Homo-oligomer: A and B are copies of this chain.
Amino acid sequence: MDTSTVDRRHLDFMLYDVLGVDALCAYPRYAAHSRETFDAAISLAQQLAAEKFLPHNRKADLEEPRLVDGKVALIPEIAEAVRAFGEAGFTAALADEARGGMQLPFVVTAACDALFCAANGGTIAYPTLARAAANLLEVYATDEQKARYMQPILEGRYFGTMCLSEPHAGSSLADITTRAEPHDDGSYRLTGAKMWISAGDHELGENIVHLVLARIAGAPAGVRGISLFIVPRWRVAADGTRGARNDVRLAGLNHKLGQRASVNTFLKFGEAGDCEAWLVGAPHHGLAYMFHMMNEERIGVGISAIQQACASWRYALAYARERRQGRHPDQKDPSTPAVPLVEHADVRRMLLAQKCYVEGGQMLAFHAALLVDRQRDADAQTRDEAAALLELLTPIVKAWCSEYALRANDLAIQVLGGYGYTRDYPVEQCWRDNRINPIHEGTNGIQALDLLGRKALLHDGAALRLLLGEIATTCTAAASDAELAPFAQELAVKARLVGDTTLAVAQRMGRGEVRRALANASDYLLLVGHVAVAWCWLRMALVARRLAPAATGSERDFLDGKVQACRFWFATELPKVELAAKLVATADGSAFEMKDAWF
């Protein structure tokens, strides 16, 4: 039974045949790269994921992090995997060559990460959080801060965290109360508590660089009064030597439903009044800096979610090809042999739905990842458009992918039946592990508000118009292919529906009915998400149709499968947007008007 968690042909198809990421090598920053170097990095990631991450995925779930003598005890395989990741250069995948980095494009790095995520979504959090912290410091920290805190992360010696939430303020960052007092030496002293901190304490490296949101005394209320601080777990001298423990205390571990490889902590800062912290950038701009990190993290959440769905889908597919059970409904003779599960129409439906969620979501997420790189284009308009589209797509990638990835996980369990409900098979863990993704890095409800209340309407809907323009381009191309023309027509209709629905919301907001206009934001996210994924499927089908005439054997099957999946999406999923659009456009009030006392 083939139980690999990834289909490399499909990954290559997305990256090269559809997205053409090798074109990035024309950018000066990536001039030293080629498709060969990209492939080498991806192949190395694939090998390390299979050899160092996948084997302990279940063990890490069974033996979750514990506190032993005040320290976080992890199974040793985690340290080994994280070390291999760092030594292979993946922690510094994005960093400049001058700093010892691979200087890879974001989208290629994302492809590498995706392979680790499919193998083990928990362990991978340690080095990728560290890398995200390094990325932030690269942009906003001083040279001195970079040397002291960022360079050791790139070298795999230090780790990093993002400390945003507090016990009383998860989604509502405006309400954080951690405070910072200026200190004589130019540093600050922090006091407060932070909740849900992934990788918040462990012994994997020499140090942990916490990036912490806090308020400087006298700061404005709300999110405009939040500053960003570096809080090292161990203080670091100017020459890089490690000093005394800083006043950061591990106050507890959170015991989670899944993702148990990644320790989740409750941290207290400054209980002894001596938590040294260093301001990053200007005071009161911390949230904007953090969102630099958060936005790329949200693309990462979408990819991670889809990859955990990919893993369970591929397992379910292999299982359905092997396991024989029952007969077709028109086969009444019980002496005929049982057929493989995959031959049952309902099982095939469940497998195809998973394929559509997984590969459609991957396509969308990698498209967004490529937009991160396009912001380095020589052409200013290309850069601006990429930035605007990325802003728009980020909440969709985060929320849509995490929601539908979970549905795919659910279907994988169903394909396995009773076996899927046991801990002897991997699919239940995928489902549990993945349940965090609609919640963290901004709940999906908040992503929907971000999309409808802000990004879709920004600059008179400029970013949305760009997206609809790209969709129209695809529709035009598909219209000349007789087999795809009906889909092109359908997608064009649905794209207009997106525009009309958005306009209706904008008008209602213009009349001051803000709350009501945004009440069905989740339906709006489904609308735009499903249309965007339809666009992704049509793009894949277009490329598949272009390549098919020259293809034979399994390659031809691979390409035909893309067209069939596109057909399934347009027949069974895309029509769902009509109801969603209606609820949004009419501002259906059936939930909005529900009173608390009526429950």
Contacts and interface: CB of A to CB of B under 8 A. Distances in A.
Interface of A: 165, 169-172, 174-175, 195-196, 221-223, 254-258, 317, 321, 325-330, 333-335, 338, 340, 342-353, 355, 406, 410, 413-414, 417-418, 420-424, 428, 431-432, 435-436, 438-440, 443-445, 448-449, 453, 514-515, 518-522, 554, 557-558, 560-561, 564-565, 567-568, 570-572, 575-576, 579, 582-583, 588, 590-599
Nearest to A414: B438
Contact of A352 (B170, B428, B594): B594
Given A196-B418, A346-B445, A515 B329 contact: yes
Contacts of A258: 421
Nearest to A169: B325
Contacts of A421: 256-258, 435-436, 439
Contacts of A561: 594-595, 597-599
A557 B345 contact: no
Contacts of A410: 406, 435
B175 A334 contact: yes
Nearest to A334: B222
A255 B568 contact: no
Given A321-B596, A410-B406, A445-B346, A514 B329 contact: yes
A453 to B, nearest CB: 6
Contact of A257 (B406, B428, B564): B428
A345 B515 contact: yes
B444 A522 contact: no
A165 B598 contact: no
**10 nearest interchain CB pairs?**
A222-B334, A561-B598, A345-B519, A349-B591, A172-B326, A330-B514, A346-B445, A568-B590, A557-B597, A174-B334
A583 B571 contact: yes
B575 A593 contact: no
A583 B579 contact: no
A221 B597 CA distance: 59
A206 to B, nearest CB: 29
B414 A439 contact: yes
Given A221-B334, A328-B515, A351-B594, 4 more contacts: A255-B424, A347-B445, A561-B595, A572-B588
A164 to B, nearest CB: 11
Given A175-B334, A588-B571, A443 B424 contact: no
A3 to B, nearest CB: 15
A453 B583 CA distance: 34
Contact of A423 (B256, B353, B428, B576): B256
A424 B411 CA distance: 27
Given A329-B515, A330-B515, A338-B172, A346 B418 contact: no
Given A172-B325, A334-B175, A514-B330, A346 B590 contact: no
21 contacts: A170-B325, A174-B326, A175-B326, A175-B334, A223-B334, A317-B599, A345-B518, A345-B521, A345-B592, A346-B448, A348-B594, A413-B435, A421-B439, A431-B435, A557-B598, A561-B594, A561-B597, A561-B599, A564-B598, A571-B583, A576-B576
